[in-house]
Amino acid sequence: MIQLFYKISIFSLSMLCSCFVLGQSGTDSIQAQPVDSYYLEDQFYVGVGYNVLLNSPDALDQRNLSYNLQLGFIKDIPLNKRRNFGLGVGLGYAANSYYSNMGVTEDGDVRAYQILDDENFNRSKLETHAIEFPLEVRWRTSTATEYRFWRIYAGAKLGYVFSGRSKLVTDEGNVSFSNDDIDALQYGLMLNFGYNTWNIHAYYSLNPLLKERASIAGESIDLRVLRVGLTFYIL
């Protein structure tokens, strides 16, 4: 009787151990996640920045906060097996404001530019809204399982300004109109670099903000834009 009980106990313990091992293996197989060997990174972006006007007339001074807001989608195109080097081709939107002491008035199709005295105005700005097409060469330290990494993305950006306006605010009222002197085609070089969430964005325009016909006292206003800010990538 004792021997029979002993054999039954051994058999039951063996079955219990087998069930535990099988159950643990099943749990491990559920918990194990396959590595995505075709992962993509940094496909959506938002950014804020400050616009600096370069090559401006001597008497032109920037005022207030000349800001930049941008957002968009960039298709990540890895070119190597590790997928940390490749290209990025995108589509985005950007809003830019350029505050200064330069005033613009319009008479029919003719626009006149002048440097304003401080007592004659409160705010004066150029404002643009553009569709942008960024092209990047991308390098990063990412892997399929590492989501915190360094990145350096360099390239060019082409922008189409679908809305460009001048606005002047004085004590007597506001004057705002669509300014056709703002060049509809804007292009330049850009660089994004940083770690994880925080990435510095820099952009330098290769063509003037205004068309050649825009002038002050017969001198062409050859404004160039240097933009510095932060870019945040999502997914």
Q: List, for residues 96-127, the tens digit of each pLDDT value.
A: 999 999 999 898 888 999 999 988 899 999 99
Residue 104 lies inside a defined structural domain of this protein: yes
**What's the pLDDT at 76?**
94
Mean pLDDT for the stretch of residues 49-63: 93
Residue 33 lies inside a defined structural domain of this protein: no
Residue 14 lies inside a defined structural domain of this protein: no
Q: Give the domain CATH number at 54.
A: 2.40.160
Q: List, for residues 69-95, the tens digit of each pLDDT value.
A: 999 999 999 999 989 999 999 999 999
Residue 126 lies inside a defined structural domain of this protein: yes
Provide the domain limits for residue 120: 40-234
Residue 22 lies inside a defined structural domain of this protein: no
Question: To 5 degrees, how large is the angle CA 24–CA 25–CA 29?
Answer: 115
Residue 10 lies inside a defined structural domain of this protein: no
Number of domains in the chain: 1
pTM reported for the whole predicted model: 0.81
Region at 17 (left for phi over 0; alpha for psi -120 to 50; beta for the rest): alpha
Instruction: Please tell me the distance from the alpha carbon of residue 25 to that of residue 215, in angstroms, as a whole number.
Output: 77
**What's the pLDDT at 25?**
45
**Cα dihedral 181/63/159/219 (nearest 10):** 40
